[in-house]
Structure 1
Amino acid sequence: MSLRAGRTVRAPSARWVLAEPHRPVCITRQYDYWVKGCGRSGVVSVHSIENIETIHDGWGRFHVVTVSRGDGGTMLRQVEDHGDAVCVLPYDPVREVATLVRQPRIAPLFRGADALLLEVPAGLTDGEAPADAAMREVLEETGLQLGALTPAGSLWSMPGCATERMHCFLAAYSAADKVGEGGGVADEHEEIEVVELALTEADEMVRDGRISDMKTVYLLQTLKLQGIESGAVSRRS
């Protein structure tokens, strides 16, 4: 498989109106960007966003985006925008355990699935640097005061319809780092149960589907690939 080289992207030709650096509010803009096709033809085509209409402005923003295709036609796409997010897998390499959280999630409930998901601590950056937001979320949700983070990638969580880029981290801890009860922030209506479990049990739960949250599976597998759960990687200070 081969990809043709891209060209220089043109600067935006329309005015931006911003409420926050990452949140455009009902604007019209035109710029070109390259989409590298990996299909049979390997064709690189030009698309441009011609218009963004905000149809809902709440916790997240929902936009209807008009896109000009490379063949001269147009199409509409709906985009949800709430900015960047972080997720962290806290693990104790000495006791070979991880701290996860269990909380109700409305989207699985909407689908008729089990609403109580076991997950790594996560949340929005709220304008902070990703590492700062990650440490804050872990403290709020688990009561752990982390001393260091190990970056594990920045990933698009649902690029087909959402702007969220998830900054992922691993974080070693010890029992001495437990400084609070956790449980989340009351005025955000968070209902969080803190769950510490053996890494071997977490691996089994991934295999049998009891852990089904994508970011959690990713970080547990990343930890496993790095050999941390077997003691190959020591605790970072």
Structure 2
Amino acid sequence: MQDDKPNPIPMLQFDQKDVTISAVKTKYDGFFKLNEYHLQHKLFSSKVSGEFTREVFERGDAVVVMLYDPIKDNVLLLEQFRTGALRMGDTPWMLEFVAGMFDEDESPIDVAVRETKEEANIVLDPSDIKPIMQYLSSPGGTSECIYLYWAPFDSTLVSPGSIFGLDDENEDILLHIASRVEALALLAEGKITNAATVIGLQWLAMNYQTL
């Protein structure tokens, strides 16, 4: 019997060597940086594109930590104001996991430990911090890579309603304890719209029984 299935088209057949960057021009360099790339790349037709430009928001990478209590089946959610959410028309206060940017010479685990202490007053053992994934937050416009982790914590030792954060970073962070079921209901209701928190909770929904 003849197999009529077409030959599969290979995925991700190109890599860095298939891109030529002729120039990178810095358009803005402040707290963040905006670079303009002049480049061309190989096309799926095997031809090469003409040279074009793209602006890339170079904001650095970030670490996100989902704190999960596997005994009580609870997660820690942080509520804080985000300027970038003002345009959504609902509320610019968001429910998120612990997160932060890299300081100089820090590893992702270093960031996870530091930010968890700063934002939730919880001390993590580095060996308890487990990777979920790395992903690009919006590669069409920014180079930011997110390092997403989970770590166990004792939710009975956390006081919901506690407020943390660094004054010199204008942080005002309110702690909430939610059951996994409650957190997933908030997600389903559209109350959680931060990408890392969405991804983390979806991962938890698939993996909580093995944690």
TM-score, normalised to structure 1's length?
0.75
Indicate how the Cα distance of structure 1 residues 67 and 177 shifts in structure 2: closer, same or farther if over 3 A, else same. Answer: farther
* Aligned match of 1:185: 166
Q: Distance between the aligned counterparts of 2:68 and 2:12, measured in 1? A: 42
Q: Distance between the aligned counterparts of 1:165 and 1:153, measured in 2? A: 10
* Aligned match of 2:3: none
Indicate how the Cα distance of structure 1 residues 202 and 3 shifts in structure 2: closer, same or farther if over 3 A, else same. Answer: same
Q: Distance between the aligned counterparts of 2:11 and 2:155, measured in 1? A: 52
Q: Distance between the aligned counterparts of 1:111 and 1:200, measured in 2? A: 26
* Aligned match of 2:45: none
Task: Pick one of 7, 10, 13 that aligns with 1:3.
Answer: 10
Task: Report how many aligned residue pairs link the two structures.
Answer: 194
Task: Pick one of 139, 154, 166 that aligns with 2:117.
Answer: 139
* Aligned match of 2:4: none
Indicate how the Cα distance of structure 1 residues 175 and 88 shifts in structure 2: closer, same or farther if over 3 A, else same. Answer: same
Please, which runs of 5 or more residues in structure 1 have no aligned partner? 10-32, 35-45
Task: Pick one of 201, 224, 231 that aligns with 2:182.
Answer: 201
CA displacement at 1:2 relative to structure 2: 2.2
The alignment yields a C-alpha RMSD, in angstroms, of 2.2
Indicate how the Cα distance of structure 1 residues 167 and 177 shifts in structure 2: closer, same or farther if over 3 A, else same. Answer: farther
SS in 1 for 2:123: coil
Deviations 1:16-58 (A, max 9, x none): xxxxxxxxxxxxxxxxx25xxxxxxxxxxx3311111111111
* Aligned match of 2:193: 212
Counterpart AA for 2:153: Y
Q: Distance between the aligned counterparts of 1:159 and 1:5, measured in 2? A: 16
Please, which runs of 5 or more residues in structure 2 have no aligned partner? 1-7, 43-47
Indicate how the Cα distance of structure 1 residues 5 and 96 shifts in structure 2: closer, same or farther if over 3 A, else same. Answer: closer
CA displacement at 1:109 relative to structure 2: 0.2
Deviations 1:138-188 (A, max 9, x none): 111111112211110111111111111111101101147659x56111101
* Aligned match of 1:123: 100
Indicate how the Cα distance of structure 1 residues 196 and 4 shifts in structure 2: closer, same or farther if over 3 A, else same. Answer: closer
Q: Which has the higher helix share?
A: 2
Task: Determine whether 1:51 maps to 2:23.
Answer: yes
SS in 1 for 2:103: coil
Deviations 1:58-80 (A, max 9, x none): 12100111112443511110101
Q: Percent identity?
A: 28
CA displacement at 1:208 relative to structure 2: 1.1
Higher RCO by CA contacts (8 Å cutoff, separation 6 or greater): 2
Indicate how the Cα distance of structure 1 residues 145 and 51 shifts in structure 2: closer, same or farther if over 3 A, else same. Answer: same
